Amino acid sequence: MTLDEKIGQLMLINSPGGHSINSIKDDLRAGRIGAILNEVDPETVRELQRICIEESRLRIPLLIGRDVIHGFRTVFPIPLGQAASWDPELIEQCARVSAIEAKSRGVNWTYAPMLDICRDPRWGRIAETLGEDPYLTSVLGSAMVKGFQGDNLSGADSIAACVKHFAGYGASESGKDYNITNIPENELRNVHLPPFKAAIEAGAATVMTSFSDLNGIPASANEFLLKQVLRNEWNFNGFVVSDWESVRILQTAGLTEGDKESAEAAINAGMDMEMASRTFADHIKTLLDENKISMAAIDKMVENILRVKERMGLLNFNAERLGYFREYDLNGHLEIAKEAARKSLVLLKNNNYLLPLKKTNLTNVAVIGPLADDKYEQLGTWIFDGDENISETALHAITEEGKENFSVKYVRGMHTTRSRSYDFFEEAKAAAYDSDVVLLFLGEESILSGEAHCRSDISLPGNQAELINALKETGKPIVLVLMAGRPLALEYIIDKVDALVYAWHPGTMSGTAIADILFGKYSPSGKLPVTFPRVTGQIPVYYSQKNTGRPATPESFNHIDNLPIRAHQVSVGNTSFHLDTHYTPLFPFGFGLSYTEFHYSDIRLSSDKLTPQGKILASATVTNTGNREAEETVQLYIRDLAGSITRPVKELKGFKKIRLEAGKSSVVEFEITVNDLKFWNKYMKYTYEPGKFHLWIGGDSDANLRAEFELIQI
């Protein structure tokens, strides 16, 4: 390869669009472009690939990249919503469908899954994450990788996955996008890196760096991340791509003086491919002449990229395969989307068993809210290729449900979720007065979450709280369905509604899925993948926090409203809490109600001693004490009571989904070995430490059915 051809493989450019393809034909023929993003017109892709195969010297096809985040034409729930299913097999199916649809348009590389751990829901990109927990994210992220890439990366329906953002992006300071992150190495290794390692072990072909800097060194020039961890420790043999212009903006961040120095820093740190900007193309030759970088480094970068192209079957790509973009079964894909949407919905409140609604008991139903009938907004963030024309709204599905039983009155209630107007309030109240039940659809439009869409206050935007208060005055039961790209702080309205279904942004089949839940065709089974704060000021609040030396207790907690006048300084208990809200979250990680009830009992351990070579079997009996069959996610948590560094109060170590008929019981068993107890200790060694452990089995992170065992060194 000539040097120009090598540099070409390192370049990922944004598509000029089909009408401007002539502007890059000469570069394609000369081998000066290795990858293109954001081109989804099949005819254009065919022509781009044809030029590379038939008119360039080396005949190396292009990578065609696209943000296929939670679907393509068929849109699935946002990743945070998919995570609420706690169903890796279903999530793998969603990614498989996404790959099939994207490949039908010529796309062969997606910038997903996003594996950032996020514990600050002010951050807009929490919508793209799989939540706050490293274990859950590892399991579900690996399933996504398998779904995108299939059994064989060179398969006709496979696309290469790109795990992002490496690493620590979810800890952006103040929940602001592109902001700095300061993460001690110990926390980085114990919390933020495990999902990436798991995805790479699952075969992820590529890795994308984070926009943010990590402890003062931007990820795109961070040798510790890209060489020490990724290559030396994990033996990653794919390639690393920058995020959009994240090499060029090293200068903006203050790490380098200009584009040439930015290219030097990124290349020497271990970057392989540059997205969108041209610092590599413009400066590699000069940097080589100045001995600032080596030809060996360039060769290694090219080798990493070509190795992935070979795995994808691109190096065997020929003219006969250029037009082979397969058709797919849209109806089958919509069925999977419906199942994913149903399993993503989380029932958070259900006073007096208001849900499921009995159609025969209803005459008039009021459907109120700007998100009840919006085919676009329910799709969520990052849906460039989503087809809103096949999207089904809740209003449509509810109207269909009521055809033979009840009438539906729809009032928008607000112009948008951000409106400060009261224009529709009286009409909404009138509809509520005339109804048997109010189905209220509020939350966030899709634009309020996603990249660069962060919020300083995550309570309901606009006049939504006022609308809820107005409808409460009617005395009619209110079922609140919230669509949002993040957990919202709901303490001030939770007592005003009778039932609450958290729907996230559920995607194309939102309507049917929501109606199936509301009218009892399907019992809700979703569980929260992230903790819900009471108020924004509690952030960060997450289930696996450290205990501190002075943890809050029911006895020590004293609310600001209860403080006596002229109270002395130590009158509030001197423990860790905020005066103006309770120290617990509104809803804990792993929480989610069902239309039945599950009782946990009889926790047992096969032994109360564990050796490094042995195992313990932990089990509990789960009984469906309700009157209908339903699904439950049984969760295992462990606490290391004392370590060389302080340990979280609980850590998720396993989960199993079971389905139980009414009145039936099942013994659910987990196997525990020292691998479940390892962590990065004070000496930055990944190991286990002998001592006592608590273990819980239950339906959420507040589980109280507990056993104890000891890890002993023989």
Cβ atoms 117, 170 nearer than 8 A: yes
Q: Do 222 and 365 have their domain in common?
A: no
CA distance 466 to 429: 12
DSSP state, residue 560? G
- Polymer length in residues for the chain: 714
Q: Do 77 and 191 have their domain in common?
A: yes
Residue 530 belongs to some domain of the structure? no
For every residue of 341-405, DSSP letters joined together read HHHH-EEEEEGGG-PSP-GGG-SEEEEESTTTT-TTGGG-SS-TT--GGG---HHHHHHHHTTTT
CA distance 623 to 628: 12
Q: Do 273 and 382 have their domain in common?
A: no
Check whether 19 has a pLDDT greater than 70: no
Comparing C-alpha atoms, which of 106, 126, 103, 50 is closest to residue 451? 126
Residue 256 belongs to some domain of the structure? yes
Q: What percent of the chain has pLDDT over 70?
A: 99
Domain span at residue 197?
A: 72-307
Cβ atoms 145, 113 nearer than 8 A: yes
More confident residue, 564 or 515: 515
Residue 705 belongs to some domain of the structure? yes
Mark which of 307, 342, 366 sits at the end of a domain: 307
Question: pLDDT at position 438, please?
Answer: 98
Average of pLDDT values for 385-389?
97
For every residue of 150-177, DSSP letters joined together read -S-TTSTT--B-EEEEETTGGG-GGG-T
Average of pLDDT values for 50-62?
96
Q: Which two tokens stand for residue 31?
A: 């081998």
CA distance 45 to 324: 11
Q: Do 83 and 62 have their domain in common?
A: no
Give me the catalytic one of 120, 133, 213, 243: 243
Question: What is the Rg, in whole angstroms, of the alpha carbon atoms belonging to the chain?
Answer: 27
Average of pLDDT values for 146-168?
97
Q: Do 46 and 138 have their domain in common?
A: no
Residue 566 belongs to some domain of the structure? no
Sheet holding 437-443, edge to edge: 346-350, 499-502, 478-483, 437-443, 364-368, 407-411
Average of pLDDT values for 406-417?
98
CA distance 452 to 462: 19
Residue 115 belongs to some domain of the structure? yes
pLDDT per position as a tens digit, 594-650? 999 999 999 999 999 999 999 999 999 999 999 999 999 999 999 999 999 999 999
Q: Specify the DSSP element, H or E, that contains 346.
A: strand 346-350
Q: Which two tokens stand for residue 91?
A: 């999530």
Cβ atoms 372, 393 nearer than 8 A: yes
CA distance 595 to 66: 40
At 419, which CATH number? 3.40.50.1700
DSSP state, residue 292? S
Supply the angle between the helices 510-518 and 394-401 in degrees, to the nearest 10: 50
Cβ atoms 576, 551 nearer than 8 A: yes
pLDDT per position as a tens digit, 414-450? 999 999 999 999 999 999 999 999 999 999 999 999 9
Please name the amino acid found at residue 407: S
Residue 323: which pLDDT band, with cuts at 50, 70 and 90? low
How many helices and strands in the chain, by DSSP H and E?
Answer: 18, 26
Counting the structural domains of the chain, the total is 4
Mark which of 44, 66, 88 sits at the end of a domain: 66
Question: Given the structure tokens 């985040």, which residue do they identify?
Answer: 69
Q: Do 388 and 416 have their domain in common?
A: yes
Q: Do 509 and 634 have their domain in common?
A: no
Question: pLDDT at position 327, please?
Answer: 87
CA distance 229 to 234: 6
Question: pLDDT at position 300, please?
Answer: 98
Average of pLDDT values for 269-282?
98
Strand 206-209 and strand 162-166: the pairing is parallel
Mark which of 518, 550, 574 sits at the end of a domain: 518
Check whether 18 has a pLDDT greater than 90: no
Average of pLDDT values for 14-41?
92
Question: pLDDT at position 208, please?
Answer: 98
Q: Do 243 and 381 have their domain in common?
A: no
Instruction: Give exposure, 670-693, as e/b (b: 16+ Cβ within 10 Å).
Output: bebebebbebbbeeeeeebbeeeb
Question: pLDDT at position 573, please?
Answer: 75
Q: Do 278 and 146 have their domain in common?
A: yes
CA distance 474 to 107: 52
CA distance 460 to 467: 11
Residue 528 belongs to some domain of the structure? no
Question: pLDDT at position 21, please?
Answer: 85
Residue 362 belongs to some domain of the structure? yes
Whether pTM > 0.95 for this model: the answer is yes
Q: Do 57 and 77 have their domain in common?
A: no
Torsion sign (Cα): 587, 590, 595, 598:
negative
Q: Do 338 and 291 have their domain in common?
A: no
Average of pLDDT values for 330-359?
98
Q: Is 87 an active-site residue?
A: no
Question: pLDDT at position 475, please?
Answer: 98
Question: pLDDT at position 435, please?
Answer: 98
Residue 552 belongs to some domain of the structure? no
At 217, which CATH number? 3.20.20.300
CA distance 391 to 410: 19
At 614, which CATH number? 2.60.40.10
pLDDT per position as a tens digit, 550-606? 999 999 998 999 998 988 887 677 899 999 999 999 999 999 999 999 999 999 999
Torsion sign (Cα): 13, 19, 24, 28:
positive
Check whether 508 has a pLDDT greater than 90: yes
pLDDT per position as a tens digit, 75-103? 999 999 999 999 999 999 999 999 999 99
Q: Do 53 and 86 have their domain in common?
A: no
Question: pLDDT at position 320, please?
Answer: 62
